[in-house]
Structure 1
């Protein structure tokens, strides 16, 4: 058979036997990006391979081989086609197995070939370290994340201290260095947030926060202002509490959890249990993966319902705390209270 006659058959064979399965594999492994169209009902879906994703834009290579750039502000959801290693890490994180997720993310990170995936891993590790009692590693991971992308989409993962938790010796040393000579406003904010729990450093921390409250980055300035409320809520009057409550709406939704927690604490002190419970419950709703504030907010909200005689609501919140925050120091207290309510 002449070669010219054989070529079409060979080409067809290659297409059917090799290229189509390969194309099907690429299609199955495609990343998906949902973006806002011209109207609220208009949602566009783009499939392809994400090559970068930061605080400004997402860049994706679509089926034709062309690059498409989508402003981050228009993105509604990103559905990455994770590798098996990344999918395993994400699953452990979603289950609240933060210790297991740390090892899984480290393994996945060794094979991560794109900067946006490595930044995603840093954000997840920030939360995992914080939730497993290693805030010094959480702060270091987040600082590295912001160094890579100052406008990071993961800013909501910033590991600030909203409770009376004391810094570890390693974090105290790190935070003091950041406060003395910060390379960024984020480092100064983290340093002030954690050193503020130490009486001997509180004045210095407050001065830093007051300075950061005028920072041109609204995320920094609003969070610094909210952090100052940690020192103000115990003595705040009704008017001051109302002003603080109104200021929370100025924060992006992914940065409001800590402020709602502090607002709830202030309302508890004002003996307004219904309002306090509603404010407190916003923290675990907005930030279920921030164990420190989510677990304590559930505990305090349950106490408010107990005081109101709403024992079923209180018991439900105690169960939520026990089931989802098993490693939290609050879980043991919740178990004791639940047993008393169920007698």
Structure 2
């Protein structure tokens, strides 16, 4: 019997002080698993799958929230999931269209091939997991589930630094042009200089002159740190004025990358306020930029705090989450953090750094930073 994937939306309660959060964050990381972790894009937090539930029939369950009735669980068959919302055929055969901001969670069935892919990924066999996902998508008849699987494939290719392959997979999808889609957040943008981008430069050069905003955004992000920077900046400046709010905000956040070394406190606070208008699953990249700017400014406590958000709140963005763990651990290891924790008798920064390195090795073994840890050890 195929197992059910449940998407409960966890909430993170921040501690009173940043240092307490850093300590608590490490504990949270220890408690996390990779069991079908994925975001459905409707909320601001990642949704973690529960593979232990067993389906009793072929129906789906959709949890929605309303101001009058609170949380409701609706049973039926999901017809479609897109930027327009979720279409559910109820058990009485009536059809209900649910707006994206009402959806709290989804429970649905996946094939055994899909669950084999999740097991492979959890065990660090990423290449095998990707191939199994391709197979699962091929045997899946529901279009909205195929989109879900495509998004997972894109994220995994991105996590391995296969930017060109991830981008082509994304651009070939039927949700690439719909920035409101819950699956659009898998867009494999570059957020920091990366040697792996060299293989994508040729495609990126053609994408920035295309008429498709999603292609232009991808291409510009790949060219921003190289010889094509001037063209990338011009394209991003244009996209920053897009009537599509999501595209405009992401383009603006890409431009912040050029200000990491020069932004002052007022400017960084503006960025923090700006990303509040982005869906949660699109915040990992901008969060990395903001954390790096705080690090440059010398506020290492804030930098560590924000670096830890992607691996805790949005671990499905694997490459960014891994890089953020690496950066936070490096700051702790170098002693560039508050002394409040040490004066209070809490665990040493070196212990915390080692804990983060271990999480990086365990959760994102495919990342180049995990490989670096293995070499150093």
Q: Which residue of the partner structure matches residue 277 of structure 1?
A: 304
Aligned-partner Cα distance in 1 for 2:358–2:199: 34
Q: Which structure 2 segments of 5+ residues have no match?
A: 1-53, 338-347
Aligned-partner Cα distance in 2 for 1:100–1:30: 30
Q: Which residue of the partner structure matches residue 280 of structure 2?
A: 253
Going from structure 1 to structure 2, the CA distance change for 1:242 and 1:43 (only over 3 Å counts) comes to closer
**Offset of 1:121 from its aligned partner?**
1.8
Q: How many residues align?
A: 311
Match of 1:297 among 324, 328, 336: 324
Return 125-134 or 67-76, whichever deviates more: 67-76
- Are 1:318 and 1:335, in contact at CA under 8 Å, matched by a contact in 2? no
**Offset of 1:147 from its aligned partner?**
4.5
Question: What's the CA shift string for 1:55-114, capped at 9, x where partnerless?
Answer: 112222333333332222211111111222233334444555432221112111222222
Q: Which residue of the partner structure matches residue 238 of structure 2?
A: 211
Aligned-partner Cα distance in 1 for 2:198–2:373: 29
Question: What's the CA shift string for 1:249-287, capped at 9, x where partnerless?
Answer: 222221111111111111222222211111111121232
- Are 1:196 and 1:202, in contact at CA under 8 Å, matched by a contact in 2? yes
Aligned-partner Cα distance in 1 for 2:94–2:59: 14
SS at structure 1 position matched to 2:308: helix
* 1:86-105 equivalence runs, <5 A: 86-93=114-121, 97-105=125-133
Larger radius of gyration: 1
Q: Which TM-score applies when normalising by structure 1?
A: 0.83
Return 118-127 or 308-317, whichever deviates more: 308-317
Q: Which residue of the partner structure matches residue 181 of structure 2?
A: 152
Return 68-77 or 152-161, whichever deviates more: 68-77
Q: Which residue of the partner structure matches residue 29 of structure 1?
A: 58
Match of 2:354 among 270, 293, 315: 315
- Are 2:137 and 2:150, in contact at CA under 8 Å, matched by a contact in 1? no
- Are 2:126 and 2:366, in contact at CA under 8 Å, matched by a contact in 1? no
SS at structure 1 position matched to 2:298: coil
Going from structure 1 to structure 2, the CA distance change for 1:268 and 1:33 (only over 3 Å counts) comes to same
Going from structure 1 to structure 2, the CA distance change for 1:167 and 1:303 (only over 3 Å counts) comes to closer
Q: Do structure 1's residue 196 and structure 2's residue 229 form an aligned pair? A: no
Q: Which structure 1 segments of 5+ residues have no match?
A: 1-24
Q: Do structure 1's residue 177 and structure 2's residue 216 form an aligned pair? A: no
* 1:99-138 equivalence runs, <5 A: 99-138=127-166
* 1:62-77 equivalence runs, <5 A: 62-77=90-105
Question: What's the CA shift string for 1:166-192, capped at 9, x where partnerless?
Answer: 45555212111111223x211110110
Question: What's the CA shift string for 1:128-154, capped at 9, x where partnerless?
Answer: 111122111111121223347553111
Match of 1:61 among 89, 93, 96: 89
Aligned-partner Cα distance in 1 for 2:55–2:309: 41
**Offset of 1:210 from its aligned partner?**
0.7
Aligned-partner Cα distance in 1 for 2:150–2:63: 23
- Are 1:33 and 1:46, in contact at CA under 8 Å, matched by a contact in 2? yes
- Are 2:179 and 2:246, in contact at CA under 8 Å, matched by a contact in 1? no
Q: Which has the higher helix share?
A: 1
